[in-house]
Structure 1
Amino acid sequence: MHKERKMMIFCLLLAAISSPVFSEEWKATVVKHLEVLVSSCVVVPCSFTHPKENLPASKLRKIWHSSKGRDQRIYHEDSTEISENFRGRTRLLEEKSASNCTLEITEIKDHDNGPFCFRIELARTPGDTSTIDKFSFVEDCVEFTMLNEPPKPTLIHPKTAIQDRPYTVMCSVIHTCPSNVPKLTWSRATTDTDVIEVHRQIYVGYWETLSILTFIPEEKDDHREVTCTSQFYGPKTSYSTLTLDVKRTENFNHIIIPTAVGIGTAVIFALFCIFMVKKYKNRIAELQQQEGSVWNRLSRMSRRNRV
């Protein structure tokens, strides 16, 4: 019984001592797979935790290496430790953040497919080459699928444009390089155009560049093409085109003008008729007055002769 109690106390002490170590894990959050454009660049989102979270960032040595071996480094704070093929093409983004391990690779080559894994080494003192702990996250590596041709932009727009009314076209392209976003340009560049550009992350490891074009279509724009071109870092280009279908604004001039002319003519003719009727009535009245006066004179003359 006494031995069992000692064994229980020993187990409890061992658990108390080891619990701080095992309660916090070596854990990395790395995107597993990305489609990458050859000659362009890629940003691999990465963050990690480790059991010694109270260590300053200056004691953390962040390394990226090939899954084939820890000595095949693609990133190291000492550039001489990097494989020659990747030297000058890799860097860490947000390097001052202790828990950040986001990697950028530029000038992607068709054999840079990985997998690539993150490794952390904890130095005894800042700048010290010796380490007190180290860990490679070989279960959380990133692998690339190489794209030799860039993706075409996606166009979103109303089916029909209406003459003299604002018309909006949206052009978007997906990419993996937010530090060097693709440039979107439009074939239509006139004084009536208005372009808005938006950059956003759509999901882990992928970003979208969106360009919104608004312009006033004219009758002459019917069946004209509008092209959106995307230029990727590298550079490689792709484009998408739409053909405008401009609906003319309803015009009733061919009805309104003849009707107005007809009404105007009728009004003028009616006024002329009224004027003529009044004129003839006045003339008749004058003649009647003249006839009356003549008849009166003749009557007076006939009476004088009888006398």
Structure 2
Amino acid sequence: PFRFSALTRSCVVIPCTFQYEEDIPLTRGIWSKKTGGIVFHNGQSNVIDHFKGRTKILGDLNEGNCSLEIDDIKPFDNGPFCFHAEKGHDKYRFNNSCVFIVMKSPEKPVMTPVPAEVDAGSTITVSCSVAHTCPSHPPVFSWSVPDLSSEISHTLTSPGIWETKSTITFMVAAGDGVRSLTCTAIFWRDKQQAGTVKLNVK
């Protein structure tokens, strides 16, 4: 089975595609635990209590997209989780349709290098990026300096992993010496990680 990383309390998207060649639309897609218990079903009453209200299929089944989002990940939501589709009473199972989830700590933001020395009053542009698994609620960034301008970008870097990047331009405050510039990534449901670079102001 495939393995995907997740941050507890945040959300995770499990990418899932399948080949379905027939003309008659599928009735439903179902995700379940390999050990038993339905994790996602069109009818919420079929879902086990532990997952009720926390799962949804993001794609269109009839286009072969069965990607699953699990929100508010719990430490023991490891799986394995398996997908199958139904059309009436017929069940369709697919190869490689089971996945594990591995829990991890929040990623540390990566900051772009800054010049060795900067002049007070000059403007600098710096970026801070972080990997995550929750594209519906990407991390937000907090900076230790007021910015003149800022922009955010989101990129899918590999299956199930996205990168969110914050780029700001700011003015270096007056006064000599070494200062810290800190970028804090705040993940969905409030876990945080910070990255810091030193500014040598002259």
Q: TM-score, normalised by structure 2?
A: 0.91
Residue of structure 1 equivalent to 2:188 = 233
Whole-angstrom distance in 2 between the partners of 1:160 and 1:103: 45
Higher strand share: 2
Q: Secondary structure at the match of 1:80?
A: helix
Question: 2:26 aligned with 1:92, yes or no?
Answer: no
User: Residue 183 of structure 1 corresponds to which residue in structure 2?
Assistant: 140
Instruction: Give the drift of 1:77.
Output: 0.4
Task: Quickly say closer, same or farther: Cα 1:88–1:218, change in 2 above 3 A.
Answer: closer
Partner Cα separation in structure 2 for residue 150 and residue 33 of structure 1: 17
Q: Does 1:213 align with 2:168?
A: yes
For residues 19-98 of structure 1, the aligned pairs below 5 Å read: 32-52=2-22, 54-56=23-25, 59-69=26-36, 72-95=37-60, 97-98=62-63
Secondary structure of 1:220 counterpart:
coil
Q: Percent identity?
A: 37
Aligned to 1:153: 109
Deviations 1:107-148 (A, max 9, x none): 00001011111101112xxxxxxx1x212336331111112x
The answer on whether the counterparts of 1:34 and 1:205 sit within 8 Å (CA) in structure 2 is: yes
What SS is found at the alignment partner of 1:85?
Answer: helix
Say if 1:138 and 1:67 are closer, same or farther in 2 by CA, change over 3 A.
farther
Q: Secondary structure at the match of 2:50?
A: coil
Higher RCO (Cα < 8 Å, 6 or more apart): 2
CA contact (8 A) 1:117 1:137 kept: no
Pick the aligned partner of 1:107 from 69, 72, 76.
72
1:18 paired residue number:
none
Whether contact under 8 Å (1:67, 1:138) holds in the other structure is no
- One-letter code aligned to 2:52: R
Counting matched residue pairs gives 201
Of 145, 154, 160, the match for 1:199: 154
Distance 1:49 1:122 in 2: 14
Paired residues for 1:243-262 under 5 Å: 243-246=198-201, 248=202
Alpha-carbon separation, structure 2, partners of 1:49 and 1:96? 10
Aligned to 2:84: 119
Give the structure with the higher percent helix.
Answer: 1
Distance 2:157 2:52 in 1: 30
Bigger drift between 163-172 and 34-43 goes to: 163-172
AA at the equivalent of 2:96? E
Query: Which has the greater radius of gyration?
Result: 1
SS across alignment from 1:64: strand
Structure 2 counterpart of 1:301? none
Cross-structure match for 1:173: 130
- For 2:30, give the aligned amino acid: I
Structure 2: stretches of 5+ with no match in the other structure: none
Partners of 2:146 and 2:170 within 8 A in 1: no
Q: TM-score, normalised by structure 1?
A: 0.61
Choose 95-104 or 173-182, whichever is displaced more: 95-104
* Structure 1 unmatched runs, 5+: 1-30, 124-130, 249-307
Partner residue, 1:17: none
Q: Deviations over 1:229-288 (max 9, x none)?
A: 111112211111122113x4xxxxxxxxxxxxxxxxxxxxxxxxxxxxxxxxxxxxxxxx
